[in-house]
Structure 1
Amino acid sequence: MAAVIAQAYDQLELNSKLRNQLEPYRPNPTGTSEADSTPQAISFDLLREALVVVNAELPPPERRRLVNVLRGTSVYIAPKATPKRSPEFVAHLESIRAEIAQKDYLRMVNGVSINEKNRVGSSVAQELKTVNQNLMVIFNILFSMVAVYACIYYTARTMTDDMGLRVLFGLSFSFLVGAAEAWLYTSKMHSVELADQKRGKHELFN
């Protein structure tokens, strides 16, 4: 291929444009290119034009074929040039990244604050609800005990006229009913606490 380029260069006395295009690829007498000793890539169209010039001066039997000229060569694909970023563009990108990071941080902090406020508000409301429930249960237990005591006290008059026995019967049944209702309420509250703990663990793992 170097011989074809050199021969075409010597024959291009009238075509200065093509001659200038072949100048960088013309080998030195030592066999190397003028720039350095490494092979240089040449465009396919330019090589074909040089071969046309050379074959124009040769008789048909001596004309060279493009396939033979390309033998031993390889295809060179120039790397894609990456556009250089200006300092203004880089600074603009950095400002956009900083703004996005700031918005993400504020969104995260605001989300935590809102969740914390909701948690505190729901905790206070839950405490008040629990206190009201406990007071209501205590009132119901006391009311049941008083009602049972009165019922037994007046019913016992049909069995005995002794006031001490009637008071003893009334107190015994009233305390029995109060203990039963307190046990039922305690069992129910224990079941509710276990359910809340399981639900809290499930939300924590999710």
Structure 2
Amino acid sequence: MASYLIAGERLVRSLAPGGELERERLPRKLRAELEAALEKGGDRPSGPARLVSFRLIRDLHQYLRERDSALYLHELLEGSEIYLPEVEKPPRNPELVARLEKIKIQLANEEYKRITRNVTCQDSRHRGILSDLGKEVRSIKALVITIFNFIVTVVAAFICTYLGSQYVFTEMASRILAALIVASVVGLAELYVMVRAVEGEFGEM
């Protein structure tokens, strides 16, 4: 926080012999403090010369007001600047520095794991495509086997009925009709079983 002014040439000249403040007959203590501040840099052990504290400026302003002086403070402070000292950064705590470095390493490891996980996911997706292809091939194979079994079952039912009906029917047309009826019934039963099996597979997906 600023608490000092760098006195300008106007304030320095006003305190010199024959200056404006000499005619104001400043109190001895106030004048001595102002002269010491302008000559030695004030009560600060370091910093630029001619540092005047705000306290001295307030005392000077109060004295001029009490005397109803025609000399205004803003005229005396012409060319003066507020002194802003450099902020001294405290030394960093070694434990805090070590902890920050540890956190940076952890974050780097987590980032590496995240990147590696993404690469692994991509590889697993490729493996997933191959596994899906294998599942489709197996499904097609099962479908072909089911259709083949259906055809064999219907044909076997037809042939068995046709050959067995010769003991019941003597005419060829009756034997063929009976074989067709039995083959149709067997085929419908097989279709029903196939539909139920397909519905079960879709329900598991």
State the structure with more CA Rg.
2
How high is the TM-score relative to the length of structure 2?
Answer: 0.48
Structure showing the higher strand proportion among its residues = 2
Q: TM-score, normalised by structure 1?
A: 0.48
> Greater relative contact order (Cα 8 A, min sep 6): structure 1 or 2?
2
